[in-house]
Amino acid sequence: MEDKIVVKNLNLYFDTLAVLRSINLNIKANEILSIIGPANSGKTSFLRTLNRLNDLIPTARITGEVLLDGLDIYKKDLSLPWLRRKVGMVFALPVPLPRSIFENIVYGPRLNGVTNKLRLEELTEKTLKAAFLWDEVKDRLHTSGTKLSGGQQQRLCIARTLALEPEVILLDEPCSGLDPLSTSKIEEALYELKKQYTIVLVTNNTKQAARVGDNVAFFLMGDLIEYGSTEQIFTVPSDKRTEDYITGRFG
Amino acid sequence: MLKPILLEKLVKKILFVGTAITVFILFFIIFYILKNGLAVIDMEFLLSSPKDLGRAGGIFPCIVGTIVLSLIAILIATPLGVGAAIYLTEYTRKGRLISIIRFFTECLSGIPSIIFGLFGFVLFVVYLGFGWSILSGGLTTAFMLLPTIIRTSEEAIKAVPDYYREVSLSLGGTKWQTIVKVVLPSALPGIATGIILGIARSIEETAVVIFTAGSVLHLPTSLFDSCRTMSVHFYILAREGISMENAYGTAAVLIITILLINMFAYWLMHRLIAKYS
């Protein structure tokens, strides 16, 4: 399979603190890459280098290359809105904007200039279905998104990201605050979504990585320790630290 | 040493007394003014011109002057102040320069209004040649309001959680789209509070207006006309012993106006909060 994202020798610093060190990683199209590792390993920071959300941090400094379909996303004059529509993101904390479910979904498309009401309604239905939320909210699309339950809010956030019609979806511990039922619904959605999208999933839950990931990358203290197929990482990890982590000896 | 449980009771009593005194003073002032003023107020008082320097007749020109002057002040101070607040919070990074600007803005809000009045007199009335006019008064009052509006807007904008900004940016929003669609709507109740306070202050302002808009008692017909606002009218009536009755009547109208504005502000804020949260 072709590489959707190629990360070459990526270093990320906050001030003088090295958060990521010489990361080399290829992310294949239409796969789910799970990123696992203990807290403060740089998983989230890595994810945020892929849509340049780290740019918001004044002290962040980056070296190396991130190529999306061969295009360096850190090149000068690159349009950030364009990049962030191609590389959508779902945050750990579900944050519906304080507006209706429908308005949440169409927020991105509207910013991109889609005004046709019919088109926006189509998008809403399509994305909510893909996020397995349609049946639960189809009768109250114009009520506030903040009134939904935590699990529903997170699926709304996924649908909202899908409405951008991205090519890559970054998920930052999307199930960290959710109950097992909501988690399984989201995993089910991810499984369907990878047919169309490339998915990078940061998770603290190694079992989740084993369940949904095609490939796994293990981060520790800013280093990429090991990368391999899910099967290989969870059965015959080549690095002792990976084995210790996935068997629960630390982290 | 008092036992914690006794201290608890004592503290509660002291705080209650403090609150009671505050509320009592407030109600006493309002009651006293209204008691003395309401008797004078009728349609004629509100809608006719003063006669004999204000001993007789109404305060219609003063009401018009007050409204127009406050309107100018708020229409100028709001975009400038909110704009400055947006710039300071969203477009600058924390640094020495910003701290200095912030420090001076705060100092500015502590400057007595009579000094703003003098400044407005020198700049608008004399140097720019606007004369004693509603325009000079409105502009000067706007300057006086700026620090308050900047400060309250800044606080309101800073209180908008960062994750709203991140979500909007991650959905392909530009910085400006994010500010307009997410940050300002969420900050609106706080910004509105600052503006409403500004309106009230511009209505009650006396020193600035005497220096810059003058105290002519006729009905203003252009922005370059001098005018006498209700506060100034009250001051002159009371100070020069022209008519205490009509002074109280003017004061009552002033207080009622400010009460109405505050009530409207609360109503508006609750609506905005209901809409955006």
Angle at A104 between CA A98 and CA A109, to 5 degrees: 140
- Whole-model pTM over 0.95: no
Rounded average pLDDT over A144-172: 93
Whether A43 and A35 have beta carbons less than 8 Å apart is answered as: yes
pLDDT at A171: 94
pLDDT digits (tens, 9 = 90+) for A223-233: 999 999 998 99
Rounded Cα distance, B69 and B63, in Å: 10
SS3 A9: strand
Listed residue (A73, A54, A53, A51) closest to A13, CA to CA: A54
Residue B58, both tokens: 């109404």
Residue A130 CA to residue A140 CA, distance in Å, equals 18
The confidence score (pLDDT) of residue B276 equals 64
Chain B nearest-CA distance from A92, in A, is 11
**Among chain A residues, CA nearest to B95:** A58
Token pair belonging to A93: 């904390």
In this structure, what token pair is assigned to residue A84? 């962030």
Q: What is the pLDDT of residues A26-56, one digit of tens each?
A: 999 999 999 999 988 999 999 999 999 999 8
Q: In chain B, where are the structural domains located? A: 43-276
Q: Rounded to the nearest 5°, which phi and psi values hold at A174? A: -70, -15
**Does domain A3-246 match CATH 3.40.50.300?**
yes
* Nearest-CA distance A240 → chain B (Å): 37
What gap in Å lies between CA A95 and CA B240, rounded to an integer?
A: 62
Grade residue A251 by pLDDT with cuts at 50, 70 and 90. Answer: low
Average pLDDT over residues A77-93: 93
Q: What percent of chain A has pLDDT over 90?
A: 66
**A179-to-A43, A158, A175, A176, B54 alpha-carbon distances in Å:** 22, 17, 8, 9, 74
Structure tokens that stand for B239 in this block: 């100070």
Q: State the best of B90, B170, B181, B275 to mutate against chain A, taking most chain A CBs within 10 Å.
A: B170
Nearest by CB: B164 against A84, A85, A97: A97
Q: What is the ipTM of this complex?
A: 0.90
Lowest mean pLDDT among A182-186, A217-221, B158-162: A182-186
Residues of chain A in contact with residue B172, where contact means CB-CB under 8 angstroms, are 81-82, 84-85, 108, 111-112, 164
The single residue listed with the structure tokens 């379909």 is A69
Nearest residue in chain B measured CA to CA from A81: B172
SS3 content of chain B, % helix, strand, coil (to 5): 80, 0, 20
**Is residue B272's pLDDT more than 80?**
no
The 10s digit of each residue's pLDDT in A90-116 is 999 999 998 999 999 999 999 999 999
User: How many other C-beta atoms can be found within 10 angstroms of the C-beta atom of residue B195?
Assistant: 22
Q: Are strands A168-172 and A87-90 parallel, antiparallel or unpaired?
A: parallel
Nearest-neighbour CA in chain B from A242: distance (Å): 32
Least confident segment among A132-141, A226-235, B246-255, B266-275: B266-275
Reference A172, options A15, A54, A64, A83; nearest CA is A54
Among partner residues A58, A81, A99, which is closest to B172 by beta-carbon distance? A81
Would you state the structure tokens that stand for residue A203, as one six-digit string?
A: 């998770």
CA distance B62 to B150: 29
Write out pLDDT tens, residues B3-15. 888 899 999 999 9
CA gap A174, A67 in Å, rounded: 25
pLDDT 10s digits, B79-91: 999 999 999 999 8
B277: pLDDT strictly greater than 60:
no
pLDDT at A58 over 70: yes
Alpha carbon distance B88, B101 (integer Å): 9
3-state secondary structure of B240: coil
A114 burial via Cβ count (<10 Å: 0-12, 13-18, 19+)? middle
B43-276 topology per CATH: MetI-like fold (1.10.3720)
Segment B183-225, tens digit of pLDDT: 999 998 889 888 988 998 999 899 999 999 888 888 888 888 8
Q: Is A42 on the interface with B (CB under 8 A)?
A: no
Nearest CA in chain A to B164: A97
Q: Which of A143-152, B25-34, B74-83, B263-272 shows the lowest mean pLDDT across its residues?
A: B263-272
Selection from A245-249, B98-102, B174-178 with the highest mean pLDDT: B174-178
The whole-number pLDDT of residue B168 equals 95
Cβ pair A81:B186 closer than 8 A: no
Q: Find which of A44, A49, A79, A84 to mutate to test the B interface (most B CBs within 10 Å of its CB).
A: A84
Write out the DSSP string of A174-223: TTTT--HHHHHHHHHHHHHHTTTSEEEEE-S-HHHHHHH-SEEEEEETTE
Domain ranges of chain A: 3-246
Q: Which residues pair with A14 in a beta bridge?
A: A17, A60
- Which residue in B has a C-alpha nearest to residue A51's C-alpha? B170
Which residue of B165, B172, B185 is in closest CB contact with A111? B172
Q: Which helix (H) or strand (E) holds B50?
A: strand B50-51
The tens digit of pLDDT for each residue in B42-66 reads 888 888 888 888 788 888 889 999 9
Instruction: Please tell me the predicted confidence (pLDDT) of residue B92.
Output: 84
Q: Which pLDDT score is estimated for A1? A: 65
